[in-house]
Structure 1
């Protein structure tokens, strides 16, 4: 009927106006709006996914320094950043030069040289931090060719070159400068030799990290240099965070082995890499039917933190795969996320990592001395990036290579101690993401204001601060986060960026693990050959604040440069970020949605009354003028109105 049509149009118009007011004033959330949709409305999520890389190990070694030795040495305690499978590696922060220049370096036990891009580099990619500028360091010295090294005859300077199995390479000159390890480190800055890159190829050119910190065996290794000087004991430890969590800790120097740490002998004469004596693999308590010699080919069983996954000789891989598949009765085997790889994946396990052991069997690695390293499902699986609740084997066949290669996935949530002095490697299961606090190895004072100071002000922390500068006072009961703002400097020019702002917001939301509607663009300005963008992160759902856990996660991802963007957006720098408390709302603001609904209902009722009056008055005009009750009215036939 025409009356119903008018009513519906008025309702839709008012609803549209109400939604617009909500969104523009940020006074009602997306959840509030979704609840106002009719039951028949369908809302489809948009999902972004990323693929991880598969780096491998490195090969040449060269001696340069002489050995010294002392006792009672301190250690360098350093945080680990990034996520193994999202990034393909973990990084730590290293500072080189006077004044210090900061670099994010991949932690690699399979490399023997620490190197960063040099300002003179002719072929280096866009990385996280600016290139090293020797001219700006008052303590930099080139390593001259008087040493036993490959020499650049023109400049009389030692050079290095490293080739990697995945066809990437790094080459440049050797320099010496002061190297420091961050505020949490007890080890004072030390002079060390490092590589200043002039050419990068392959993954090294395209990676987000700046370079590599080489922890392998060899005199150019940062470990060998520090241990040979006697400033640390000849040992270091790594602890990688679990599935989807990231972070962790690294200690250069000795630590006391925790009770229950499992050890394996590591023979430096057998291989330049860190090896263990693996003899058996058990799946669901049963050993694979293999000869122990299968794990002893070529370099033996190598532990390499710079490799993402694990690789077994063909016979061992087939036996392992078959044993796992036989135990997965309730799961369905599906295609992998990347058509370039023949991944073995399974769906139906659910998204809760803590419950994976109900679907996937336990695995044990048995060493020659009889000690066993237990592997949880997260130590041999990675998430399927396109199917929710699906997982894939993170252990692969190592082609024709007879070496068994154990990458970072195998030691997630495991403290690994490389006790080089005693020729052994130890393993201890723990929560690596919490290890920094649980082992009491932070303790650097936070430069952030106290809780009492921030109740009436905002927090503003410069991005140059180390992660210890995160606001420790963001704890329940002390401070609530209303929203977070941050300024991002991009190397993309303003005209090229503007058509892709929405796409950029979606990527940022994905990297911060929040909803896209929480990311709000505040301002974009041109900045030389780049752009400066100001963003705001608002609470999710109907909440008026962001939880402290979520806020700290967002801040740490921003300050640790863990937000990875496509190459089309170039490189970025975090200029500034702020945390602000929730704004106090008036009574009408807190109940805005109810008021809007009330107004809509009242207006709708008024319009219904108006429509009814219009219809009745029109009917009266058709019947004629009003007559007194006692007056005779001619009999009429009611016509259709």
Structure 2
């Protein structure tokens, strides 16, 4: 009996020991994983070599898996761009910031924050490539127009509605572009649009064009940096691929064009007004498109339409807001910001006063002054071990990283309506100003009523999904990292 009791005692002791120490080891393992996860939420370790401009195009692995119906998106100054511009045409970092500020001022001038608050607005894939380590906001795709089809490399822009290309005979003045200028007489499907047509009225609504016309509709559009295009509003066949062809696509045939377009052939308007490509292709694509902007100049992303868009399984959505006073823009709701894993104490009224839009053409995200001040303070606290550097243009939080090969930055998470978070990729937190100077890639607006703008640097590596018909905007992580 004693032997049996001793055996049972030893057995129970062994089981108890196993349970205690086994659970302890599991608890420690769990705590270690939790600590590691928390560290990942608090900081990024970034290699500075990833910010260096590359001279060779290296398409990411995702690019080999994309459909033949995808268009490739490239920055007009990047090594993956079909536009082979000389180094003299590549803007300096300071020029990029000046151009970006001009665009922001243009958007602010178009959007009135004194209007009533906007109400919630209850199929083919194309590959995107960045320019320099910052880029200028001008991402390009190649499309086909006319019969027979002529290829044109155009800037794509969610902040514009009208699609236009340069056209012969350039009665006014055309800038130098790489591809042959479109010749309407060489297309059997080209036609001008009547001045008294409903389409011409749509054009005036979308562009604010009040230019008088005779028998044919004339468009005139000017951008925030002073660039402009003027010509005939026309219709012809648009081809994105052999199977994605749109007869009688309405676009601007520009005979007088000047500005900061580089050698791109024109612009593809992805706004939400009636003359935009999104609206004109709605029957096939259901007003659904997405893009991914890569973090470096040597890699590519994609632009997708219809069933090819929104493929990211990790996508999380926030409501898209519609403003009848500004029908072109994609409004969203920012609810907060976290830095280093901590939610900043920013009154909700700060974001509701300004409102917010997402824009593919703005480079640096602009925040309400109070929100930016809180972000800047928290970021600086997380970067105290690095020597500071002078401000450059709109960027006032800069560091001298000479001698460093890696840096540890706090994470930055933007919170949106619907509980959606955007954990900004490291490539959208710091921007390389010079070989040694790196700056926080956010800026503050001048006034509390200026609309906040989610710029393209902070969108990098995510599949940004515009489900316009469904009234929502999605972010899918790691789509073109």
What's the TM-score once normalised by structure 1's chain length? 0.52
Is 1:348 the counterpart of 2:405? The answer is no
Is the contact made by 1:279 and 1:293 (CA closer than 8 Å) also made in structure 2? no
Tell me by how many angstroms 1:80 deviates.
2.6
Q: Please, which of 431, 436, 449 is the counterpart of residue 382 of structure 1?
A: 431
Q: What is the rounded CA distance, in whole Å, between the counterparts of 1:317 and 1:80 in structure 2? A: 29
Is the contact made by 2:425 and 2:460 (CA closer than 8 Å) also made in structure 1? no
Distance 1:160 1:154, change over 3 A: closer
Q: What is the rounded CA distance, in whole Å, between the counterparts of 2:367 and 2:401 in structure 1? A: 26
Tell me by how many angstroms 1:165 deviates.
2.8
Q: Please, which of 407, 411, 430 is the counterpart of residue 478 of structure 2?
A: 430
Distance 1:83 1:431, change over 3 A: farther
Is the contact made by 2:144 and 2:151 (CA closer than 8 Å) also made in structure 1? yes
Q: List per-residue Cα deviations over 1:91-120 (Å, max 9, x = no partner).
A: 111111112222111111110011111223
Q: What is residue 120 of structure 1 aligned with on the other side?
A: 169
Q: Please, which of 460, 469, 481 is the counterpart of residue 412 of structure 1?
A: 460
Q: Please, which of 368, 387, 408 is the counterpart of residue 332 of structure 1?
A: 387
Q: What is residue 440 of structure 2 aligned with on the other side?
A: 393
Q: What is residue 555 of structure 1 aligned with on the other side?
A: none
Greater CA drift, 164-173 or 315-324: 164-173
Is the contact made by 2:131 and 2:297 (CA closer than 8 Å) also made in structure 1? yes
Is 1:51 the counterpart of 2:92? The answer is yes
List runs of 5+ in structure 2 lacking aligned partners: 1-86, 112-122, 205-209
Q: What is residue 191 of structure 2 aligned with on the other side?
A: 141
Distance 1:231 1:190, change over 3 A: farther
Q: List per-residue Cα deviations over 1:303-329 (Å, max 9, x = no partner).
A: 000112211122222221121111102
Q: What is the rounded CA distance, in whole Å, between the counterparts of 2:274 and 2:461 in structure 1? A: 30
Distance 1:290 1:144, change over 3 A: same
Q: List per-residue Cα deviations over 1:474-531 (Å, max 9, x = no partner).
A: xxxxxxxxxxxxxxxxxxxxxxxxxxxxxxxxxxxxxxxxxxxxxxxxxxxxxxxxxx
Q: What is residue 218 of structure 1 aligned with on the other side?
A: 273
Q: What is residue 262 of structure 1 aligned with on the other side?
A: 316
Q: What is residue 209 of structure 1 aligned with on the other side?
A: 264
Q: Please, which of 236, 256, 261 is the counterpart of residue 177 of structure 1?
A: 236
Q: What is the rounded CA distance, in whole Å, between the counterparts of 1:133 and 1:351 in structure 2? A: 53
After TM superposition, the structure 1 = structure 2 runs for residues 151-190 of structure 1, keeping only pairs within 5 Å, are 155-182=214-241, 186-190=243-247
Q: Please, which of 295, 298, 301 is the counterpart of residue 245 of structure 1?
A: 298
Q: List per-residue Cα deviations over 1:19-40 (Å, max 9, x = no partner).
A: xxxxxxxxxxxxxxxxxxxxxx
Tell me by how many angstroms 1:431 deviates.
4.1
After TM superposition, the structure 1 = structure 2 runs for residues 104-119 of structure 1, keeping only pairs within 5 Å, are 104-119=153-168
Secondary structure at 2:196 match in 1: coil
Higher relative contact order (CA 8 A, sep 6+): 2
Q: List per-residue Cα deviations over 1:127-183 (Å, max 9, x = no partner).
A: 232222111111110111131335876651112222333333333221100111146
Q: What is the rounded CA distance, in whole Å, between the counterparts of 1:161 and 1:294 in structure 2? A: 36
Q: What is the rounded CA distance, in whole Å, between the counterparts of 2:161 and 2:403 in structure 1? A: 41
Query: What is the number of equivalent residue pairs in this alignment?
Result: 359
Q: List per-residue Cα deviations over 1:213-236 (Å, max 9, x = no partner).
A: 100011110110010xx1222210
Q: List per-residue Cα deviations over 1:335-368 (Å, max 9, x = no partner).
A: 35x6x5555321328787xx55xx1110111122
Distance 1:253 1:394, change over 3 A: same
Tell me by how many angstroms 1:251 deviates.
0.8
Q: What is the rounded CA distance, in whole Å, between the counterparts of 1:414 and 1:342 in structure 2? A: 24
Distance 1:154 1:274, change over 3 A: closer
Is 1:367 the counterpart of 2:416? The answer is yes
Distance 1:146 1:313, change over 3 A: same
What's the TM-score once normalised by structure 2's chain length? 0.68
Distance 1:208 1:233, change over 3 A: same
Distance 1:323 1:133, change over 3 A: same
List runs of 5+ in structure 1 lacking aligned partners: 1-46, 62-74, 434-641
Greater CA drift, 416-425 or 189-198: 189-198
Secondary structure at 1:323 match in 2: helix
Is the contact made by 1:50 and 1:86 (CA closer than 8 Å) also made in structure 2? no
Secondary structure at 1:98 match in 2: coil
* Structure 1 outlier segments of 4+, above 4 Å: 47-50, 57-61, 150-155, 340-343, 349-352
Q: What is residue 294 of structure 1 aligned with on the other side?
A: 350
Distance 1:263 1:117, change over 3 A: same
Q: What is the rounded CA distance, in whole Å, between the counterparts of 1:99 and 1:420 in structure 2? A: 32
Q: What is residue 194 of structure 1 aligned with on the other side?
A: 251
Q: What is residue 362 of structure 2 aligned with on the other side?
A: 307
Q: What is residue 460 of structure 1 aligned with on the other side?
A: none
Secondary structure at 2:345 match in 1: coil
Is the contact made by 1:216 and 1:223 (CA closer than 8 Å) also made in structure 2? yes
After TM superposition, the structure 1 = structure 2 runs for residues 598-617 of structure 1, keeping only pairs within 5 Å, are none
Is the contact made by 1:110 and 1:216 (CA closer than 8 Å) also made in structure 2? yes
Q: What is the rounded CA distance, in whole Å, between the counterparts of 1:351 and 1:250 in structure 2? A: 35
Distance 1:173 1:296, change over 3 A: farther
Q: List per-residue Cα deviations over 1:364-392 (Å, max 9, x = no partner).
A: 111222221111221232112342xx421
Distance 1:295 1:172, change over 3 A: farther
Q: Please, which of 281, 285, 296 is the counterpart of residue 341 of structure 2?
A: 285
Is the contact made by 2:318 and 2:473 (CA closer than 8 Å) also made in structure 1? yes
